[in-house]
Amino acid sequence: MDYLEQKFNVSFDYKVYFTSALFNLSNTILDNFFKQKNTAQFQKIFFVIDENVANAHGHLLEEISSYFKKYTTVQLIDDILITPGGEAAKNDLTLFDNIVKAVNLYNIDRHSYIAAIGGGSVLDVAGYAAAVSHRGIRHIRIPTTTLSQNDSGVGVKNSINYFNKKNFLGTFAPPVGVFNDDQFLPTQSERDWRSGISEAIKVALIKDAVFFDWIEDNADQLVSRNLNTMNYLVRQCAELHLEHIAGGDPFEMGSSRPLDFGHWSAHKLEQLSNFELLHGEAVVMGIALDTTYSSLSGRLPVEKAERVVKLLLRLGFEISHPFMQIEENSSILLGLNEFREHLGGRLTIMLLQDIGRGEEVHEIDTTLLIEASRQIKFYSEMKTFNNSNI
């Protein structure tokens, strides 16, 4: 037998910055970043901006233009692309095509930058376009929602929806830098502000009981939109996500997605609702379902499952939905196979053994899942607990 073998490692290194008023002329974080990354004589930067952000921050384009007139390490492409945000950005190839066309039109090379400002969907599409253009253009993320600042924006995945399936096309391509600017957070809608808290609850439940306690203790301040409290939640959640990426299987080569606790049903629910539900809203319902299932299957003590559902209700979340009221042939159950198919291999679902400690399982009992959905529907209608068991 005659063959050649090659093996090599590729190291990735990127920073997540936490700042305020990124494009203020006195804020040099971005310029210093470009000076450290300067590996070519002539570099350009092309901006893609979520139109919701552009509308909420009327002077943003002017601030960006003024910033790059003062700091000239890279050349700003003046034609800034404003695009619709939300899940629609991932369902329609128009945004992806427009970014790739801009790469060609403005001769954006691999040493230049595509910077996206917006929610997770816009970041996803821009990152995917950057990753496949010229086999990889440097991508900068400037997430503007609670959800994108504490979760998707700091990760290594980029994607679009295809065949009516969430994240069917995508890449693992880390950004070169992430800039979390807290001045974007107060202009979010009430739904978007609240939605991002779901991913913090998720990561606390599977990794950090102390953080879950903190969320319980500060729930009222989070609901009242206290920015300092939200900044702490965003940073802690981002740190836990980054620790996971560095410590295990960042490109998901196996069959496990531990950070996707509550997500097998959430992804399907988004699709079934025609993406009328925000990702974080669907994740909350998935968390409620899988937490209750964890209790019914004998893994999680009842009183701890109650704590989780009580917190979700206290934060003002809806925890049930008609599509989550499961029967034997419910469409939501298709999410189990789609979840397995997305990675291949065995079905692997994260459940809870305790608050702060998850357990991966490879089988789900549909009968218990149906019972879990019924109990969640009951508590959703009651909006409170007596001392009944979950």
Which amino acid makes up residue 329? Answer: N
Third-level CATH fold of 15-187: Rossmann fold (3.40.50)
Task: Sort strands 349-354 and 357-361 into parallel, antiparallel or unpaired.
Answer: antiparallel
pLDDT of amino acid 42:
84
| Segments of the chain assigned to CATH 3.40.50.1970 | 15-187
pLDDT the model gives residue 73: 92
Backbone angles phi, psi at 150, to 5 degrees: -105, -5
Which tens digits make up the pLDDT trace of 318-370? Answer: 999 999 999 988 999 998 888 887 667 788 899 999 999 999 999 999 999 99
pLDDT of amino acid 186: 96
CA separation (Å) from 196 to 113, 262, 367?
A: 27, 14, 31
In this prediction, residue 166 carries a pLDDT of 82
Q: How far apart are CA 256 and CA 259, in angstroms?
A: 9
No. of helices (H) and no. of strands (E), the chain: 17, 11
Domain at 190-224+243-382: CATH code = 1.20.1090.10
Report pLDDT for 175: 94
Measured in whole angstroms, the distance separating CA 142 from the mean position of its chain's CA atoms is: 13
**Domain limits, CATH 1.20.1090.10, in the chain:** 190-224+243-382
Residue ranges in the chain whose pLDDT is less than 70: 39-40, 247-249, 251-258, 342-343, 383-390
The pLDDT, as a whole number, for residue 201 is: 96
The three-point CA angle 186-188-194 to 5° equals 100
> Would you state the pLDDT for residue 53?
96
